[in-house]
């Protein structure tokens, strides 16, 4: 069956009054973010608006437009996505099938993920120094399968082992725009929260 050609997208909307044009660009950005399961980069969003339009200002106006709605637009890494506001999490869990989105990680898995986030890029040897034992390839594999970590630069030493870094999916899963949103380790210590090796009897 022949594939139907898609009509060319009118990005400029020159026939519309300026206020209606701006609102249409906002709605296009909202539609793209709604349809995407991952953060959408600025360059990708720029493909659906006029060449002179500021994606950042459109995002700001969209965020203001969504005030009072159950979802919001958030920056994750170098892109944006729509996310349900935390206040609605209990209602969603009570009525919707969101089991596939559960990270299903043990407390120790989360501790290793936190160590990678704080000390990245970090190798398995670096994790071993933190936790006092070898971190299994299976655990690293579980974190990678969920796209929470990826490979970073190789260490500049014999064997050039891989290092690990967190991903945009990690930021999205924990509601952060960037790694700057990680709590300060000193603040965690001041709050009496144990470090990984103290919190997990290893």
Average pLDDT for the chain = 84
- Asked which of 32-36, 55-59, 184-188 is least confident by mean pLDDT, the reply is 184-188
Q: Over 50: is that where the pLDDT of 62 sits? A: yes
Report pLDDT for 83.
87
What is the CATH T-level fold of the domain 18-89, as seen in this structure? Arc Repressor Mutant, subunit A (1.10.10)
pLDDT confidence band for 149 (50 / 70 / 90):
very high
Residue that is written with structure tokens 């899963």 in the block:
173
Cross-strand bridge partners of residue 151 = 164
pLDDT confidence band for 101 (50 / 70 / 90):
low
CB neighbours of residue 192 within 10 Å: 6
pLDDT confidence band for 193 (50 / 70 / 90):
very low
Report pLDDT for 17.
95
Of the candidates 19, 26, 39, the residue with the CA atom closest to the CA atom of residue 65: 26
pLDDT confidence band for 172 (50 / 70 / 90):
confident
In which element (H, E) is residue 74 found? strand 71-76
Of the candidates 130, 125, 92, the residue with the CA atom closest to the CA atom of residue 114: 130
pLDDT confidence band for 127 (50 / 70 / 90):
very high
pLDDT above 70 covers a percentage of the chain that reads 85
Residues 6+ apart with CB under 8 A from 30: 62, 73, 82
Q: Tell me the CATH class for 103-199.
A: mainly alpha
Q: How many residues does the chain have?
A: 202
Listed in order, the ranges of the chain carrying CATH 1.10.10.10 are 18-89, 103-199
């Amino acid at each position: 069956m022949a594939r139907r050609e898609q009509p060319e997208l009118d990005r400029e909307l020159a026939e519309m009054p300026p206020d209606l044009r701006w609102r249409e660009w906002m709605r296009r950005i909202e539609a793209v973010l709604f349809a995407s399961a991952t953060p959408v980069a600025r360059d990708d969003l720029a493909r659906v608006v006029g060449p002179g339009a500021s994606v950042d200002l459109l995002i700001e106006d969209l965020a203001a437009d969504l005030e009072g709605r159950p979802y919001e637009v958030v920056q994750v890494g170098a892109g944006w996505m729509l996310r349900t506001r935390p206040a609605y999490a209990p209602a969603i869990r009570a009525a919707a099938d969101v089991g596939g989105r559960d990270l299903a990680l043990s407390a120790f898995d989360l501790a290793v993920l936190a160590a990678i986030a704080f000390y990245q890029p970090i190798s398995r040897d670096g994790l071993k120094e933190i936790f006092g034992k070898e971190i299994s390839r299976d655990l690293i594999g579980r974190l990678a399968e969920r796209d929470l970590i990826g490979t970073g630069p190789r260490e500049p030493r014999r064997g050039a082992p891989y290092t690990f870094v967190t991903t945009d999916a990690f930021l999205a899963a924990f509601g952060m725009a960037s790694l700057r949103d990680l709590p300060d380790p000193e603040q965690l210590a001041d709050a009496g929260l144990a470090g990984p090796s103290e919190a997990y009897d290893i």
